[in-house]
Amino acid sequence: MSQQPLVTLQNVGKTFGPVTVIKDVTVSVYAGKVQVLLGENGAGKSTLIKMMAGVYQPDAGHIVVDGQTVTLPTTRAAEELGIATIHQELNLVPTMSIAENVMLGRMPTKRGMVDRSALRNRARAALALIGLDVDVDTLVGDLGIARQQLVEIAKALSINARILILDEPTAALTRHETESLFAVMADLRRRGVGMLFISHHLDEIAEVGDTVTVLRDGEFIAEVPASTPEDDLVKLMVGRSIEDQFPRVTGDMSQASEILTVDRLTAAGSFDDISFTVKAGEVLGIAGLVGAGRTELIRAIAGVDRYTSGTVAVRGRYLPNGSISAAIAAGIGHVPEDRKGQGLVLDASVNDNLGYATLASTAKLGLVDFAGQRSRAGEVAKKLRIRMHTIDQPIGALSGGNQQKAVFGRWIIAASTVLLLDEPTRGVDVGAKVEIYELMNAITAAGGAILMVSSELPEILGMSDRILVMRDGRLAGELTAAEATQDAVMTLAARDVDEKHEQR
């Protein structure tokens, strides 16, 4: 790499009060290359990209763009130098059209009025840059998350971005959508755009990246080629080798009894005629594309949404349709896919969040059992190694992995024996992922049953004892752990799927 980098963060450092977040890190982005930033949550990745995007100023070191030392006091200054960030939370207005979003803040005008035809033309030109073929009058809110992301990229390119910072762009995408994003990235690379790419999916690194910068605890650890084996990357990232990314331990299930029985369950428009059982000690994985009805199925079993026909039974007792409290009383615990939106009250304390499911059942004469709740919460937090300052801290301040452990902890306090997990490790770093897997082992070893929906195939393959594949709201097939491979699952999941399901 003898060419001059587009942008370099040179020996930068950053402290917040007494805490050093970044110490002496150097990272460069080259034209036509994808630089991958790798590190656990809290390693300093987001602080680093915020320095590059003009959100934070480095306390030490400097920023070099095209060989010139620059300061980036605002995001606007960074944009003017061609640096654009595609955030995880997209900066689009869902109630406005694609054209208006792409041209937001620089609407073409004619005699003080918005020039609608120029607006459309320039937006179309922007979408053409990445080969996105959609009507520019479509409301952004009507697009799926993948296409919204592409709109955001088109918007960045239309203001002449040469350096794209992509902060976990694949976190919310299906495998298929990820592949189309990678195709766009490959095209941009050919056209000389430099990219800084962040992802928790190790398997994506070799596929899309050129070079990997590994960070740990705010420090530069190594720069290695993207073709480095995953195990080595994990070792660099966590500072120790994680023996097994998927430490599934399966007990002997020949004598195990059926705990969860789902029979011909149907919810019009979501899923149709689903039957299966889960035994004590078993992890049953549900694979499928987004929109295949997996989340809807889990929610129906948990009593969150009503179903049209069929039955759900726990230990032979039928559950009433659409009753969360009856499901909880029968031993069901539901870990929803959207931790922040559905799992936690972010402003409330860790203690409160751990106790919501047991608030009423442990109360005496309608009065909250504060002392008992504290001791139960403290015990579980310790057992699950939830890292926090105090148990009265707002849970929103914890890392994703620790937040997720708290959602599990709520059901452990409730002594749930059937756990319904929806994307249990989304947005969780490698170390915490393994802790969650070990927790799943502990739950099944104690005779619990787990039903897990996940879009991460390695997780499904690595942690399930049996795998159901859903396609278009129906069961497409069942695989044992032994016979399941990525290809086998995807063949079942994707056969005959037309575009409309992909867009969701």
Partner 1 sequence: MSTTTLPAKRRGIDYKKFLANNGALVGLVVLCLALFIATPDFLTAQNLLNIGIQVSTVAVLAFGMTFVIVAGGIDLSVGAVAALSAMSSGWMFASAGLPGWLALLGGLFVGALAGTINGLANAYGKLPSFIATLAMLSVARGLTLVISDGRPISTPAEVSFLGGNLGPVPMPIVILVLSALAASFLLNRTVIGRSMYAVGGNAEAARLSGLPVKRILVTVFALAGLFAALAGLLLAGRLDSAQPQAAAGYELDAIAAVVIGGASLSGGLGKISGTFVGALVLVVIRNGLNLLNVTSFWQQVVIGLVIALAVGVDVLRRKTRSS
Shortest gap between Cβ of 345 and partner 1 (angstroms)? Answer: 4
Residue 261 DSSP code: E
Shortest gap between Cβ of 314 and partner 1 (angstroms)? Answer: 15
Residue whose CB is less far from partner 1, 150 or 357: 357
Residue whose CB is less far from partner 1, 178 or 404: 404
Residue 396 DSSP code: G
Residue whose CB is less far from partner 1, 302 or 436: 302
Shortest gap between Cβ of 370 and partner 1 (angstroms)? Answer: 8
Shortest gap between Cβ of 324 and partner 1 (angstroms)? Answer: 5
Using CB under 8 A, which of 222, 263, 356, 486 touches partner 1?
356
Residues 151-170 as x/- pattern, contact with partner 1 by CB under 8 A: --------------------
Shortest gap between Cβ of 414 and partner 1 (angstroms)? Answer: 8
Q: Which residues contact 149 (CB under 8 A, 6 or more apart)?
A: 86, 90, 169, 173, 181
Residue whose CB is less far from partner 1, 342 or 486: 342
Tell me: does residue 357 bind partner 1 (CB under 8 A): yes
Say which residue the tokens 């959100």 belong to.
55
Using CB under 8 A, which of 34, 43, 44, 56 touches partner 1?
56
Residue 343 DSSP code: I
Shortest gap between Cβ of 239 and partner 1 (angstroms)? Answer: 28
Using CB under 8 A, which of 210, 272, 352, 459 touches partner 1?
352
Residue whose CB is less far from partner 1, 16 or 318: 16
Measure the N-to-C terminal CA separation of the chain; round to a whole number of Å.
40
Q: Give the DSSP letter string of 398-437.
A: S-HHHHHHHHHHHHHHTT-SEEEEESTTTT--HHHHHHHH
Tell me: does residue 501 bind partner 1 (CB under 8 A): no
Count of residues in contact with partner 1, rule CB under 8 A: 34
**Cα 243 to Cα 54: distance, rounded to the nearest angstrom:** 39
Q: Is 86 helix (H, G, I), strand (E, B) or coil?
A: strand
Q: Containing H/E element for 64?
A: strand 60-65
Shortest gap between Cβ of 36 and partner 1 (angstroms)? Answer: 27
Residue whose CB is less far from partner 1, 112 or 366: 366
Using CB under 8 A, which of 11, 20, 59, 442 touches partner 1?
59
CA distances from 29 to 35, 78, 129, 136, 323 (A): 6, 14, 21, 32, 53
Taking a C-beta distance cutoff of 8 angstroms, is the pair 236, 222 a contact?
Answer: yes
Residue whose CB is less far from partner 1, 59 or 217: 59
Tell me: does residue 368 bind partner 1 (CB under 8 A): yes
Shortest gap between Cβ of 136 and partner 1 (angstroms)? Answer: 33
Using CB under 8 A, which of 342, 378, 379, 490 touches partner 1?
342
Q: Which residues contact 215 (CB under 8 A, 6 or more apart)?
A: 25, 37, 38, 39, 43, 44, 45, 48, 221
The order of strands in the sheet holding 258-267 is 271-279, 258-267, 309-314, 317-318
Region 409-428 residues binding partner 1, contact defined as CB under 8 A: 410
What does residue 376 show for φ and ψ, rounded to 5 degrees?
Answer: -65, -45
Say which residue the tokens 């999941």 belong to.
493
Tell me: does residue 310 bind partner 1 (CB under 8 A): no
CA distances from 142 to 98, 132, 146 (A): 10, 15, 12
Tell me: does residue 371 bind partner 1 (CB under 8 A): no
Region 17-46 residues binding partner 1, contact defined as CB under 8 A: 17-18
Using CB under 8 A, which of 169, 343, 400, 462 touches partner 1?
343
Residue whose CB is less far from partner 1, 105 or 341: 341
Residue whose CB is less far from partner 1, 202 or 414: 414
Q: Which stretch binds partner 1 (CB under 8 A): 193-201, 266-274, 283-291, 328-336?
A: 328-336
Say which residue the tokens 């966590």 belong to.
238
> Beta strands of 205-325 (E only): which ranges?
211-216, 219-225, 258-267, 271-279, 283-288, 309-314, 317-318
**Cα 225 to Cα 333: distance, rounded to the nearest angstrom:** 43
What is the rounded (10 degree) CA torsion for 76, 78, 79, 85? Answer: -110
Residues 263-302 as x/- pattern, contact with partner 1 by CB under 8 A: ---------------------------------------x
Largest Cα separation within the chain, whole Å, is 80
Q: Which stretch binds partner 1 (CB under 8 A): 26-34, 49-57, 116-124, 243-251?
A: 49-57
The first and second tokens of residue 430, run together, are 């490698």
Using CB under 8 A, which of 44, 61, 281, 336 touches partner 1?
336
Residue 5 DSSP code: P
**Cα 86 to Cα 82: distance, rounded to the nearest angstrom:** 13
Using CB under 8 A, which of 344, 380, 432, 475 touches partner 1?
344
Rule CB under 8 A: which residues touch partner 1?
15-18, 55-57, 59, 302, 304, 324-325, 328, 334, 336, 341-348, 352, 356-357, 359-360, 363, 366-368, 394, 410
